Amino acid sequence: PPMAAAVGSPEDVRNLSHYVLSLSKSPHDSLRASLGKSKFSACAACHGMDGKGNQALGAPNLTDDVWLHGWGEAAITAMINNGKTNQMPAQAEKLTEAQINVLASYVWSLSSNGAAAAAR
């Protein structure tokens, strides 16, 4: 959800953006990141204090190098300000049942659960 109101001023949001960048060891302003660290508590309810996310809530891991909605200060600031609801539109009318099964299997194989099952 949009979290800017819980974070504080636009400067606080910008500082938090740098802290989020620091979690993945991405280039960031270390002074801004240190100022933004305390603001991360607003994000931690979903992303966890360690920033590793919560798949059940749809909160991505912020410590890896996967950026679903853009990378950098501007993209992270926009996410804090506007939030994002990830919901795939229905495709049932466009695909056959067999195509849905193949696609679901492929997507599942991309997850950590799918990779672990495939390794067995």
Give the CATH number for residue 71.
1.10.760.10
Per-residue pLDDT tens for 103-113? 989 988 888 66
11 and 47 fall within a common domain: yes
Supply the range of the domain harboring residue 98.
88-120
Query: What is the total count of domains within the chain?
Result: 2
Task: Decide if pLDDT at 29 tops 90.
Answer: yes
111 and 71 fall within a common domain: no
The pTM is what? 0.72
Measured in whole angstroms, how far is the alpha carbon of residue 52 from the centre of its chain? 9
Other CB atoms within 10 Å distance of the CB of residue 72: 14
User: 96: left (phi > 0), else alpha (psi -120 to 50), else beta?
Assistant: beta
48 and 71 fall within a common domain: yes
59 and 19 fall within a common domain: yes
54 and 18 fall within a common domain: yes
pLDDT, mean of residues 92-116 = 83
77 and 100 fall within a common domain: no
